[in-house]
Every structure is written in C-alpha cells, then in structure tokens.
C-alpha cells in the first residue's frame, strides 16, 4: 500500500521537524498563551504535511482520499488558529473575542465538512508525483473564509504597526507579518486542486517560516513580565540580605546579598538554623519571634546583631514576615539590612553632641572668667575716682571733677558692655531645653519688674491673651523684658508711654507683638536695629549699649523663629516675634 | 547693745590678694569709723599661717586671733574656698565668724560658701561709696550688734 515516493520525503521530514519544534516550544513556554497558539499552528501544519506525505505514498485511491481529508481538515483550522495567534500577539484578543470564537466555530464546521463529506475533497486525482485531491463545492466558501481571516489579520497588523510609536514594537509587528506572509505563499498549493498543472510546494515556504519563527521564538519571549517570572532576579538584585526559613527556623533560601553581607555561600547556610547567625546569645532569637508572628503580625525594622563568617559583628535592621496561612504558618521571610553606616553615623552624632556640650561649657566658663577679670580694672577706676573726689576734693576744681566723672562714666559703660556681651553669649551657653511656657505668666512678671520704670514715666504696660508654647522660660523672660523696657525707654517727650504685649497662634506659629506709642523709627532702619551695637540715637540721648535687640534676635533664632521691627517716626513701633509653638523632643 | 566694757578693738583679718582692694578696704573702714584693728593677709596659705601662728606669724602677741575674718574667694596658692573649709573644720578656728567679701556674684559660689559654713556672703560693691557703706554696716552688725564668742568659757 505504502510505496516509497521521493516526493513525499520532504513533506514527511518537514512534518517531523514541525512536530519537534512544537514540542520544544510547548515545553519551554507553555505558560504563554501566544506560544501555545503557535504550537497549535505548527502542529496543524504538521498534521497537514503528514497527511499529504501519506497521501503521496499511497497506491490505493480510497486510502489516499482519507489521508487527504485528514490533512485538509487540519488546514481548515489554520485560519482560526492564525487569527487567534495574531490577535493575542498584538494584544487585541479581548476586543476581538467574538471574531476569534466565530473563526474557530467556522473552522470546526469546515473541518467537519471536509472529514465526513466530499464537500472539500471531491475526488482524488493521480498525478505523476502522487495523488492529490480535487476541490469540492465547499472549497470556495472555505477559501473565502480563509481570505477573510487573512484580510483581517493584515488589517490588524497594519493598523497596529501604524498605531505604535515604539520602534522596537514596530519591528516585532513587521517581522510577525512578514513571516506569515512567507508562510502564505503555501496557498499556491490550492491551485492543483482546481486543475492547474503545478506541483504542490508548500513545504518550501513553511521551512522558511520555521527558520524565521524559530529564531523569533527564541529571541522574543511572548510572556508578560510578572513578579513570579522575575523572582530569582529580584532576590539577587536586592541589596538587603534575604533568608526564607521554615517553621523550625532552618534556612531554606538565601540570596546573593547574604554572601556579600555575611560571607557565607548558599551551601554553608541551607539547612542551618538561622539562630546560629546571631552574634550574641539571648532569649529573643529570630526563631523565637516566629511564634509571635501570627499573633503580632510582621516585624519591621528590629535592630539585631548577626555574625559574619569570619566572626565579626554585623549590625542589621531585620524585618520578618510569615509565609503561609495564619494558623498553618509554613515559615518566614527574614530580610536583614546592613545598618552599620547608620549606627556609625548615630555614634558620631552622639559624639558631636557631647563635644558641643563640652564646648558650650568651656565657652561659658571662659566668658564668665573673662567678664569677671575684665570688670576688675573698671572697678578700680570707679573706686579711685570716688576716692579722688572725696579725699582730695579741695585740690580739685570743677573741671577736674568733671574729667573724673567722665572717666568713671566711661568705665561704667564698659562694665555694662561686658555684662551685655556675657548675656549675649549666654543665650547659647546657658540655653535650657524647651518646656511648655505660659507666656502670659512671663509677661505678667515682666510688667511687675518694670513697674517702677513705667510709673516714673507715667506710662503703662498692657498684656493681652498669650498662648503657651515650647520655649526656654528664662530666655522668654529676657526677650519680653528687653522689648518692653525698650518700648518704655523710647517714649515721646510729654507723651506717657503705652506699651502693649499680646500673642496669637496661627498655623502652629505663635506671633508675639510688643507695640508702643513712642518715638518710632524709619522703616529703612528696620533691619539695622538688630545689629549689635548699632544705635539710631546718640548715646547721650538714650542710654543703652545697643545689644538688647541683638540678644532678642539671637533668642528668637535659637527657638527656630524670627523677629521683625516695624516703625513709624513720631508715632510708635511694633516688634513682632514669630516662634513655633511646638518643638520635637530629642 | 552689747557690753561696751570689753571694748578693746576687735581684730579684723582681711584676706585679699589684690593690693588695691586691700587699700580700698582699709580706706573704707576708716571712712566708716568702725573701731577696729585691721590686719591683712594675701592668700589662703598666709591666712592659715596667721591663724595657726606659723611661719612669720609665729609670735602670737603680734598676731592676735581675729574676731572677724573678711575673706576674698579668688586668691592664688590657696583660695578662699579651701581656706574656709579648713577653718570651719578646725575645732578652735570654726567659731570665728567669716564674712566672704568677693567680686563674684555667681550662684554656685554663694551656695558653696554657705555650704562650707561661711557666716555671710557679700558681693563687693562697684563704687567706693558703696564699699564704705558696706564696711559701715559690717562694722555695725558684727561688732556693735552681734555678740562675738569669747576666747574661752569658764
């Protein structure tokens, strides 16, 4: 029955190659829907070719006819399979669902007609090279269906190519279209079915297609990228060390970073208890905490010390999450982050704070001693000046006494200056930690302190509602006292000074305003008043060294706030201190 | 008022390293007309030598035990705080009133000197007039108003 026909050989070989290719692709990429469809296409062509190879090798027309039907039935499914494949590869499947299903149903119908009737394979003709079917009446409708599927595929491919701007995707689509175009050359094999005297040569374009397709399949993976796909790469790219441990605390999975951080390689660790990596013994080992995971939930950023292979300690921050169901915990994922740099930085910070505190102490000691020793000669000037005036009054005329007065006055100014400088340096060196301070109470104390001065000038200080803020109580006292004393001092001749202190809170900031009806100042000096030793008036007119406001600014800035001055000459001035209400505790 | 019969001048012993301050103190005491016999020492070592009649103060008659000590705190060799501690630790010397008269007004100094047993702490006034007034008040208080302990009892 079966005779050797050289013509059948290429068909048989290609069929086998196709089946092999389909098997390989299926095994490697069966997770991919696209790859599976591709395998189906190839398998269908394989069935086609094997059917025809048998047909060519037959002597018996009846058997040849059956083989032809089987082969052509496979061909019936091709348009549907190719269409489905194209739609999936171009990611149009979901929108083309209806068409795809219709195509498969039509294919099944045609296949049925082909197998069980003589609709497709009418008769079988004998050619010099072998049997070949003659087209039946159902062939034309099938060809129309085939053309339709082909047309839709071309349309979708071209519009996708036009739509995409990504050059890589365009290349892919083009390659896909071209490789199928090559395969479609095999359609010339319909011609002999209609009596055209040509030989079927489908295996040629199909071989070309296989070569292109195999290359494409190998290079392009049609699978989407998911976390599961990239799992191994994720593990090995992470900078943090990762262990997966089982319920008893034994290490089952490690990643690349484990080697870098701890010096162990996989084989050292798999099966080993994770507790053996702890640096110091203790109760709260990692495996102990596993038990609590179900109850407490995952652990985040717990500081631990683990041991490197060569013995030294590695400071890490550990996060542990359970693996498995709540009551059927299978194990846990332990991620350890190297925090040695962070701990080092923390230690350095502590060190810096310590030396800063030390530095402040030294500065204070120095400032105190310096001011004390600087005062001593000034005292002498005062004292001997007094002695001169009292004991040798007779020898001194008015001018001599005047000179002595000026000397003593100069010495006095220097004494005040030294005290002011000491006060200025103490804003830093004697700074106290912030506590909640009732500004209203401080303001009341300041008013009490300045009572005499206010009374002397016939003036008055009013205090409005004041909030409670985090501050250094002593410095707040200094601040308010300086501002209020200034307000009293710079009053207009004949106009009793009216000073008002009030505070309000807005957006977490407190605004303290000390305003007066005194001599005021020009707006252009608003910044200058805060400069140390800067004065807007002659020394003789208003006493003071000009450091009070510099101290106020330093206090405001130390509290993370600011101070601004507003003035109108001849009308008054207002000083506005803005401070944050809350300070974070260290 | 106390018994003026025993009005032999009280010996006031002033310990201060600064020559001018000693001079001013002497002038102030004189100006305030406080009856006194004023002696000077320059530092803590000398002060204790005087009190124990050691060294150049070995002759007791020329270095009578003071009825009042005016003590500066900051002195070389041995400062006032150290000397104060020793005086108040000695069973014989601790009865002598010690008035600390110093330029310092630091809170720690005030606290510590009272802690060591000083009888009073006075910050030296800035002006001479102030110094005169203080000397007058010291004299009035410690010599005229206060009963000083006798040398011995019985």
Helix, strand, coil percentages for chain B (3-state, nearest 5): 40, 15, 45
pLDDT at A219: 66
pLDDT at A4: 77
Identify the contact set of chain B against chain A, taking CB-CB distances under 8 A.
18, 20, 24, 27, 31, 103-104, 106, 124, 126-129, 131
Residue B4 in this model has a pLDDT that exceeds 50: no
Residue corresponding to tokens 């004041």: A466
pLDDT at A562: 95
Read off the pLDDT band of A180 (50, 70, 90): confident
With a pLDDT cut of 90, the percent of chain A lying above it is: 29
Q: Do A383 and B103 touch (CB under 8 A)?
A: no
pLDDT at A391: 85
Contacts of A415 in chain B (CB under 8 A): 126
Q: Do A375 and A418 touch, CB atoms closer than 8 A?
A: yes
Residue A280 in this model has a pLDDT that exceeds 90: no
Residue B5 in this model has a pLDDT that exceeds 60: no
Task: Please state, in angstroms and rounded to a whole number, the distance separating the CA atoms of residues A404 and A400.
Answer: 6
pLDDT at B112: 93
Task: Please state, in angstroms and rounded to a whole number, the distance separating the CA atoms of residues A126 and A104.
Answer: 32
Residue B127 in this model has a pLDDT that exceeds 90: no
Residue A472 in this model has a pLDDT that exceeds 80: yes
Burial of A275 (0-12, 13-18, 19+ CB in 10 A): middle
Angle at which helices B107-116 and B80-89 cross, to 10°: 20
Residue B1 in this model has a pLDDT that exceeds 50: no
Q: Do A304 and A215 touch, CB atoms closer than 8 A?
A: no
Q: What would the two tokens of residue A130 be?
A: 């072998």
Quick count: other Cβ atoms within 10 Å of Cβ A150? 17
Paired with A131 in beta bridges are: A126
Tell me the average pLDDT across A348-352. 95
Tell me the average pLDDT across A319-342. 85
pLDDT digits (tens, 9 = 90+) for A166-178: 787 788 778 778 8
Alpha helices (runs of H) in A185-222, residue ranges in sequence order: 203-219
pLDDT digits (tens, 9 = 90+) for A252-276: 989 999 988 998 888 888 888 888 8
pLDDT digits (tens, 9 = 90+) for A382-415: 889 988 988 899 999 999 999 999 999 999 888 8
For all residues of chain A together, what is the average pLDDT?
86
pLDDT at A586: 47
Identify the contact set of chain A against chain B, taking CB-CB distances under 8 A.
368, 372, 375-376, 379-380, 382-387, 390-391, 415
Read off the pLDDT band of A148 (50, 70, 90): confident
Q: What would the two tokens of residue B74 be?
A: 């900051």
- Smallest CA–CA distance, residue A437 to chain B, in Å, is 24
For all residues of chain B together, what is the average pLDDT?
87
pLDDT at A166: 78
Q: Do A357 and A430 touch, CB atoms closer than 8 A?
A: no
Q: Could you please report the per-residue DSSP string of A241-278? A: EEEEEETTSBEEEE-HHHHHHH---HHHHTTSBGGGGB
* Biggest CA-to-CA distance, chain A: 161
pLDDT at B9: 76
Tell me the average pLDDT across A1-10. 78
Q: The complex's ipTM?
A: 0.76
Contacts of A383 in chain B (CB under 8 A): 20, 24, 127-128, 131
pLDDT at B61: 85
Residue A292 in this model has a pLDDT that exceeds 80: no
- Smallest CA–CA distance, residue B134 to chain A, in Å, is 14
Tell me the average pLDDT across A316-344. 86
Read off the pLDDT band of A585 (50, 70, 90): low
Residue B128 in this model has a pLDDT that exceeds 90: no
Nearest beta carbon to residue A383 from set B104, B106, B131? B131
Task: Please state, in angstroms and rounded to a whole number, the distance separating the CA atoms of residues A240 and A160.
Answer: 42
Residue among A219, A218, A216, A209 nearest A78 (CA) = A209
- Smallest CA–CA distance, residue B44 to chain A, in Å, is 20
Q: Which residue has the higher pLDDT, A44 or B150?
A: A44
Q: Which residue has the higher pLDDT, B1 or A235?
A: A235
Q: What would the two tokens of residue A571 be?
A: 């009308």
Nearest CA in chain B to A387: B128
Span of A194-208, A442-456, B80-94 with lowest mean pLDDT: A194-208
With a pLDDT cut of 70, the percent of chain A lying above it is: 95
Read off the pLDDT band of A217 (50, 70, 90): low
- A2: which DSSP letter? B
Parallel, antiparallel, or unpaired: how do β-strands A509-516 and A498-506 relate? antiparallel
pLDDT at B3: 46
Alpha helices (runs of H) in A270-328, residue ranges in sequence order: 286-296
Q: Which residue has the higher pLDDT, A329 or A465?
A: A465
Stretch (H or E) spanning A577: strand A572-580
Give which of B73, B126, B132 to mutate to test A binding, by max A Cβ within 10 Å: B126
pLDDT digits (tens, 9 = 90+) for A20-50: 888 888 887 766 777 888 888 889 999 999 9
Residue A228 in this model has a pLDDT that exceeds 50: yes
Residue A246 in this model has a pLDDT that exceeds 80: yes
pLDDT at A108: 92
Task: Please state, in angstroms and rounded to a whole number, the distance separating the CA atoms of residues A414 and A419.
Answer: 9
pLDDT at B52: 93
pLDDT digits (tens, 9 = 90+) for A417-439: 888 888 888 898 888 899 999 99
pLDDT at B7: 54
Q: Do A383 and B127 touch (CB under 8 A)?
A: yes
pLDDT at A147: 86
Tell me the average pLDDT across A115-140. 82
């Amino acid at each position: 029955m079966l005779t050797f026909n050289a013509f059948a050989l290429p068909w048989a070989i290609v069929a086998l190659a196709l089946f092999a290719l389909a098997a390989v692709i299926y095994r490697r990429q069966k997770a991919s829907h696209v790859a599976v469809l591709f395998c189906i296409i190839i398998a269908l062509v394989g069935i086609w070719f094997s059917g025809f190879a048998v047909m060519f090798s037959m002597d018996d027309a009846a058997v040849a006819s059956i083989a032809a039907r089987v082969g052509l039935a496979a061909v019936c499914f091709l348009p549907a399979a190719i269409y489905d494949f194209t739609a999936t590869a171009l990611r149009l499947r979901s929108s083309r669902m209806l068409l795809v299903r219709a195509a498969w149903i039509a294919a099944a119908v045609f296949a049925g007609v082909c197998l069980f009737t003589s609709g497709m394979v009418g008769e079988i003709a004998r050619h010099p090279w072998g049997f070949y079917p003659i087209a039946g009446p159902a062939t034309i409708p099938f060809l129309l269906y085939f053309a339709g599927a082909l047309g839709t595929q071309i349309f979708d491919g071209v519009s996708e190519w036009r739509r995409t701007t990504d050059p890589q995707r365009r290349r892919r689509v083009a390659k896909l279209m071209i490789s199928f175009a090559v395969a479609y050359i095999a359609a010339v094999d319909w011609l002999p079915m209609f009596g055209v005297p040509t030989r079927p040569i489908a295996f040629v374009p199909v071989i070309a297609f296989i070569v292109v397709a195999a290359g494409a399949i190998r290079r392009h993976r049609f699978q989407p990228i998911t976390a599961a796909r990239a799992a191994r790469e994720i593990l090995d790219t992470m900078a943090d060390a990762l262990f997966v441990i089982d319920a008893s605390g034994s290490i089952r999975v490690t990643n690349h970073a484990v080697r870098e951080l701890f010096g162990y390689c996989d084989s050292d660790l798999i099966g080993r208890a994770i507790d053996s990596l702890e640096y110091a013994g203790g109760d709260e080992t990692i495996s102990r905490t596993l038990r609590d995971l179900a109850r407490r939930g995952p652990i985040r950023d717990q500081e631990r010390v683990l041991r490197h292979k060569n013995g030294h300690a590695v400071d890490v921050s550990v996060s542990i999450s359970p693996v498995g169901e709540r009551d059927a915990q299978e194990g846990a994922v332990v991620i350890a982050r190297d925090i040695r740099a962070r701990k080092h930085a923390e230690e350095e910070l502590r060190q810096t704070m310590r030396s800063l505190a030390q530095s402040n102490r030294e500065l204070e000691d120095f400032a105190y001693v310096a001011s004390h020793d600087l005062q001593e000669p000034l005292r002498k000037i005062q004292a001997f000046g007094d002695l001169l005036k009292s004991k040798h009054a007779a020898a001194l005329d008015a001018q001599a006494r005047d000179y002595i007065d000026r000397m003593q006055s100069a010495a006095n100014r220097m004494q005040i200056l030294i005290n002011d400088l000491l006060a200025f340096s103490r804003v830093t060196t004697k700074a106290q930690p912030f506590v909640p301070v009732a500004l209203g109470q401080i303001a009341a104390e300041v008013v009490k302190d300045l009572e005499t001065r206010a009374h002397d000038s016939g003036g008055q200080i009013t205090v409005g509602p004041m909030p409670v803020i985090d501050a250094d109580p002593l410095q707040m006292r200094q601040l308010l006292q300086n501002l209020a004393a200034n307000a009293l001092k710079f009053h207009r001749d004949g106009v009793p000074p009216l000073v008002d202190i009030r505070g309000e809170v807005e957006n977490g900031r407190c605004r303290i305003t000390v305003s007066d009806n005194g001599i005021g100042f020009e707006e252009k000096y608003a910044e200058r008043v805060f400069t140390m030793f800067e004065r807007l008036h002659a020394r003789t007119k208003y006493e003071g060294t000009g450091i009070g406001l510099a101290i106020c600014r330093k206090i405001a800035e130390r509290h993370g706030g600011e101070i601004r001055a507003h003035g109108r000459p001849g009308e008054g001035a207002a000083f506005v201190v803005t401070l944050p209400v809350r300070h974070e505790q260290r | 008022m106390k018994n003026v019969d025993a009005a032999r001048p009280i010996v006031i012993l002033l310990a201060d390293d600064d020559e001018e301050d000693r001079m001013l103190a002497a002038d102030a005491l004189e100006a305030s007309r406080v009856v006194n016999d004023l002696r000077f020492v320059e530092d803590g070592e000398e002060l204790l030598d005087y009190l124990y009649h050691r060294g150049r103060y070995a002759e007791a008659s020329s270095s009578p035990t003071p009825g009042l000590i005016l003590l500066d705190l900051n002195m070389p060799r041995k400062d006032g705080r150290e000397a104060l501690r020793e005086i108040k630790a000695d069973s014989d010397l601790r009865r002598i009133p010690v008035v600390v008269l110093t330029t310092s007004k630091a809170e720690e100094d005030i606290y510590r000197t009272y802690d060591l047993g000083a009888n009073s702490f006075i910050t030296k006034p800035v002006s001479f007039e102030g110094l005169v007034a203080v000397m007058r008040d010291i004299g009035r208080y410690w010599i005229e108003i206060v009963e000083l302990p006798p040398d011995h009892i019985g």
